Amino acid sequence: DGGITQSPKYLFRKEGQNVTLSCEQNLNHDAMYWYRQDPGQGLRLIYYSQIVNDFQKGDIAEGYSVSREKKESFPLTVTSAQKNPTAFYLCASSDARGARETQYFGPGTRLLVL
Amino acid sequence: AQSVTQLDSQVPVFEEAPVELRCNYSSSVSVYLFWYVQYPNQGLQLLLKYLSGSTLVKGINGFEAEFNKSQTSFHLRKPSVHISDTAEYFCAVSALTGANNLFFGTGTRLTVIP
């Protein structure tokens, strides 16, 4: 089955620690995205990538970093600079980087701070 | 920039009753419009989208939405809801030109009461 997988489902971060969230897709999509979801708020774009080895900041990139070394993978690192990391993180992909394209979402990773 | 307003944060409705979830948007340019559904602790799934043509768009699970350009609205409707429709619903827009990012509303939680 084609789709997007995110791991882990739950992740705990200690003070000052960097953590990495995994996102893998086998849909052969060029574009990938990371969103943050907080209770009562919509999704906010963190980073996006249109093609391998290229990515751009979204609306709330501070305290996060990404890489896109392979077409199917787009990991997100939450750094110690992100002071309020507790949230639900969603990865998505689309066939092309275009306004009309449907984005397909993974099941999400819930990050909690210890 | 674009913005989306979902005025109703929660909508309770009895099973087999009709429902309307409201969405209004603001944009200085033409937009594409989307409705996504999120079941508990899961990612988002596309319900329907408006790109062009007929203003009445039919989606999955019996949902439909009507694009009203003069009122800048894209309300979602279903004539008879089921228990399984209980979920959070997000309206989103993207501009035809520019960065092509998706802008989400804050969501409406639909609860179907038996």
pLDDT in tens, B42-93: 889 999 999 988 999 999 999 999 999 999 999 999 999 999 999 999 999 9
The shortest C-alpha distance from A9 to chain B (Å) reads 10
Give pLDDT tens digits for A47-83: 999 899 999 999 999 999 999 999 999 999 999 888 8
- Which residues on chain A place their C-beta less than 8 Å from a C-beta of chain B? 4, 6, 40-45, 48, 58-59, 90, 92, 97-100, 102-108, 110
pLDDT score at B22: 98
Question: pLDDT above 90 covers what percent of chain A?
Answer: 75
B96 in A contact zone (CB under 8 Å): yes
Per-residue pLDDT, A16: 86
By the CB < 8 Å criterion, does B112 face chain A?
Answer: no
Asked whether the beta carbons of residue B102 and residue A105 sit closer than 8 angstroms, the reply is no
Residue A99 and residue B4: Cβ atoms within 8 Å? no
Write out A9-52 in H/E/C secondary structure.
CEEEECCCCCEEEEEEECCCCCEEEEEEECCCCCEEEEEEEEEC
Q: How confident is the model at residue B99 (pLDDT cuts 50, 70, 90)?
A: low
Residue B96: predicted pLDDT:
79
In this prediction, residue A1 has a pLDDT band, given cuts at 50, 70 and 90, of: low
Q: What per-residue string of b and e applies to B67-98 under the rule 16 or more CB within 10 Å gives b?
A: beeeebbbbbebeebeeebbbbbbbbbbbeee
User: What pLDDT was estimated at residue A10?
Assistant: 94
Residues on chain A touching B92 (C-beta within 8 angstroms): 42
Task: Name the percent of chain A lying above pLDDT 70.
Answer: 97
Residue B100 binned pLDDT confidence (cut-offs 50, 70, 90): low
- Residues of chain A with Cβ-Cβ distance to B90 below 8 Å are 42-43
User: What are the chain B neighbours of A55 within 8 Å (beta carbons)?
Assistant: none
Disruptive mutation site among B10, B24, B101 for chain A (greatest number of A CBs within 10 Å): B101
B55 or A101, greater pLDDT: B55
Tell me the per-residue pLDDT of A17-31, one tens digit each, with 9 for 90 and over.
Answer: 999 999 999 999 999
